[in-house]
């Protein structure tokens, strides 16, 4: 039979768990868009910028059983989307990127959008494909999807030249997609070694990342059996819900909250699940990892990369943790954790009280904002954060009660993530509340994508922490330089942004306005209208992460560099005072 490449691409995409595509039509993919217009399964979503489309696709993959899919033009569409693709790659998020391509049958050079997209994307994708003939359209898309979700997930790119999209070609048959699951052979000897280490530990601890998301039930059972604390990475904040009494908090080293620092201070055996011990997760590697490290991950390349592991268990975390718990049940006596639970609870309460004492007039205290948001927000809600000071405030002060209930850009650390990602999350979960916590600098990067939310009647709440600065950078500059450079954010009236994009607007100017304004914002979002909540945040109190990371980095500086930086800061402090 003869079919166009565009028809074949639509057929292939409809066999996969894809509900939306995100992108912008152009001369090299209009045929694909025309085909999807006839699809009863897939809704193409027009975005204002392909970078935002990539963040939307990323969020779809994080908060649903499907995969986020992009449909973009070559060259400029690809370079625009590259930040979101890179975020998905470093964070281990599956994504399928379908791009048009220049004519592959032309004798002419310097075609519109002619460039080697594959070289550009090689470092930030698991693999790229270029379809050479009609009979390869369907199997290539199937292979790309299978690769995207296999092992450690990630983005995969498929280029379909425009001539293949437009022309009809011979296709012998239409294969059905058969989901193939990668088998992992579990090392029983290593599993027994892990049990032995945990049994012999006086103060075991568990550290979980995003890769532990599907293993929560088993990790919870292990923690309760061993009577040990659980800490999370930033990306894995929602891998272990904060309302569990053994949840210690974000991090466990010098950059962690007090409840986690104290709970892990004597840790002599660490069970790490689905974490790569990256820079953010470890507060610039400022953690003391015990010699008895048991590391579970689906990617064997992470083992021993930053911290040596005594036991390495390669495979799916849910399967491994299930088997580990079964062995622990029969080999290790259950331990009482009542005293540990009291200590964690007391440390958490004291930490929040410390923040409450930092109240100031005419600004919003972060802990009072998050206390109220937690009280009003449904436990099943999805919280999306961006990159900035607000990220660590959220990780330290916002208890997330749903597994997978908070998503954030982590290792690629893209500013501008939250607005489009919250739209993608809401499209995938229309019945769940979706809110974002975003700094004013990050918000300005992608704020106009709220027009897409309005066009699609997507009701989110964007809580914009508005202080007029890139505060995370400003705080980092102030200590060593005693001044800031290029950290002031351009002044923009957020009420005008709301009007321009068809959103509602609320203002939270001080602590007294928090409760009523949050209630109003959530109520408006339920009607299908997105809301910009302008939060006059007080950033004067630094986070534990900021303080810990700065100290860790200063300690490892060469002596002469350290002396020079401290001397410069002191000199500027004296001269500024004299002026």
Gap between the Cα atoms of 31 and 98, Å rounded: 13
pLDDT value of position 209: 97
Residues with Cβ < 8 Å from 183, sequence gap 6 or more?
none
336 shares its domain with 196: yes
Q: Determine, yes or no, domain membership for 353.
A: no
Question: Residues 531, 388: one domain?
Answer: yes
pLDDT tens profile 439-448: 999 999 999 9
d(Cα 400, Cα 133) in Å, to the nearest integer?
Answer: 48
Judgement on whether residues 327 and 211 belong to the same structural domain of the protein:
yes
- Tell me the residue range of the domain where 552 lies: 545-578
Condensed to tens digits (0 to 9), the pLDDT of residues 464-514 reads 999 877 777 777 776 677 777 787 888 889 999 999 999 999 999 999 999
Q: Is residue 179 part of a domain?
A: no
For residue range 311-329, list pLDDT tens digits in order. 999 999 999 999 999 999 9
Confidence bin at 172 (pLDDT 50/70/90): confident
| pTM metric for this prediction | 0.94
Q: Does residue 181 belong to any structural domain of this protein?
A: no
Domain check: are 461 and 555 in the same one? no
Q: Is residue 254 domain-resident?
A: yes
> 126 and 201: one domain?
no
Instruction: Answer yes or no: do 206 and 116 share one domain.
Output: no
Spatial separation of the C-alpha atoms in residues 370 and 508, rounded to whole Å: 13
Rg (CA), the chain: 25
Give 16's DSSP letter: S
Q: State the chain's mean pLDDT as an integer.
A: 93
Are residue 198 and residue 241 in the same domain, yes or no?
yes
Count of domains observed in the chain: 4
Last residue of a domain, one of 122, 140, 170: 170
The tens digit of pLDDT for each residue in 186-208 reads 889 999 999 999 999 999 999 99
In a domain, 350, yes or no: no
Which carries the bigger pLDDT value, residue 479 or residue 288?
288
* 415 and 467 part of one domain: yes
pLDDT at 24: 97
Specify the CATH number for the domain of residue 523.
3.40.50.970
List the single range of 28-42, 162-176, 193-207, 497-511 with lowest mean pLDDT. Answer: 162-176
Q: Would residue 180 count as lying in a domain?
A: no
CATH number of the domain enclosing 318:
3.40.50.1220
User: What's residue 348's pLDDT?
Assistant: 98
Q: Say whether both 507 and 557 belong to one domain.
A: no
Q: For 23, phi and psi rounded to 5 degrees?
A: 165, -165
The answer to whether 22 touches 424, Cβ cutoff 8 Å, is: yes
- Is residue 176 assigned to a domain? no
Residues 163 and 199 occupy one common structural domain:
no
Do 160 and 209 lie in a common domain?
no
Say if strands 43-46 and 20-23 run parallel, antiparallel, or are unpaired.
Answer: parallel
DSSP-assigned beta bridge partners for residue 313:
296
Q: What is the pLDDT of residues 83-126, one digit of tens each?
A: 999 999 999 999 999 999 988 787 888 877 778 999 999 999 99
Least confident of 107-121, 282-296, 374-388: 107-121
**Range 548-573 average pLDDT:** 81
Domain co-membership, 292 together with 435: no
- Residue 348 covered by a domain: no
């Amino acid at each position: 039979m003869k079919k166009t490449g565009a028809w074949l691409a639509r057929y292939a995409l409809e066999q996969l768990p894809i509900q939306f595509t995100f992108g912008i039509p152009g001369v090299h993919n209009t045929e694909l868009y025309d085909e999807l217009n006839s699809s009863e399964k897939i809704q193409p979503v027009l975005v204002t910028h392909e970078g935002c489309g990539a963040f939307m696709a990323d969020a779809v993959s994080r908060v649903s059983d499907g995969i986020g899919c992009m449909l973009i033009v070559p060259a400029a569409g690809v370079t625009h989307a590259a930040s979101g693709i890179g975020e998905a790659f470093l964070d281990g998020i599956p994504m399928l990127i379908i791009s048009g391509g220049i004519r592959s049958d032309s004798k002419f050079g310097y075609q519109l959008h002619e460039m080697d997209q594959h070289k550009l994307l090689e470092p930030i994708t698991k693999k790229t494909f270029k379809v050479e003939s009609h009979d390869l359209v369907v199997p290539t898309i199937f292979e790309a999807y299978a690769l995207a979700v296999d092992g450690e997930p990630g983005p995969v790119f498929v280029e379909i030249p425009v001539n293949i999209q437009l022309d009809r070609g011979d296709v012998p048959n239409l294969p059905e997609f058969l989901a193939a699951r990668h088998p992992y052979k579990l090392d029983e000897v290593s599993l027994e070694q892990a049990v032995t280490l945990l049994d012999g530990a006086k103060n075991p601890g568990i550290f979980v990342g995003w890769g532990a998301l599907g293993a929560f039930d088993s990790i919870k059972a292990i923690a309760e059996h061993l009577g040990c604390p659980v800490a999370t990475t930033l990306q894995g904040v929602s891998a272990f819900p904060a309302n569990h009494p053994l949840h210690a908090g974000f991090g466990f080293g010098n950059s962690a909250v007090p409840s986690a620092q104290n709970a892990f201070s004597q840790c002599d055996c660490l069970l790490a699940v689905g974490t790569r011990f990256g820079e953010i997760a470890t507060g610039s590697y400022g953690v003391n990892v015990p010699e008895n490290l048991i590391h579970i991950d689906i990617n064997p390349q992470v083992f021993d990369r930053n911290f040596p592991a005594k036991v390495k268990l390669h495979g799916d975390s849910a399967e491994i943790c299930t088997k580990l718990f079964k062995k622990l049940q029969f080999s290790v006596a259950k331990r009482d954790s009542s005293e540990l639970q009291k200590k964690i609870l007391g440390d958490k309460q004291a930490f929040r009280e410390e923040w409450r004492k930092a109240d100031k007039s005419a600004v919003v205290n972060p802990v009072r904002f998050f206390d109220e948001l937690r009280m009003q927000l449904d436990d099943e809600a999805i919280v999306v954060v961006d990159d900035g000071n607000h990220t660590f405030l959220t990780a330290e002060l916002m208890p997330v009660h749903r597994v997978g209930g908070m998503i954030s850009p982590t290792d690629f650390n893209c500013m501008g993530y939250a607005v489009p990602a919250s739209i993608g999350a809401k499209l995938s979960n229309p019945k769940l509340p979706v809110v974002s916590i975003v700094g004013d600098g990050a918000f300005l990067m992608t704020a106009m994508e709220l027009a897409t939310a309005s066009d699609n009647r997507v009701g989110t709440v964007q809580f914009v922490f508005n202080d007029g600065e890139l505060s995370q950078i400003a705080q980092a500059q102030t200590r060593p330089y005693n001044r800031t450079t290029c950290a002031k954010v351009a002044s923009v009236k957020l009420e005008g942004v709301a009007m321009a994009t068809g959103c509602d607007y609320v203002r939270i100017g001080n602590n007294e306005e928090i409760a009523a304004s949050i209630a109003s914002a959530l109520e408006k979002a339920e009607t299908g209208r997105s809301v910009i909540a302008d939060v006059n945040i007080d950033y004067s109190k630094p986070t534990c992460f900021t303080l810990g990371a700065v100290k860790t980095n200063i300690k490892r500086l060469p002596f002469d560099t350290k002396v020079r930086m401290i001397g410069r800061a002191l000199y500027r402090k004296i001269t500024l005072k004299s002026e």
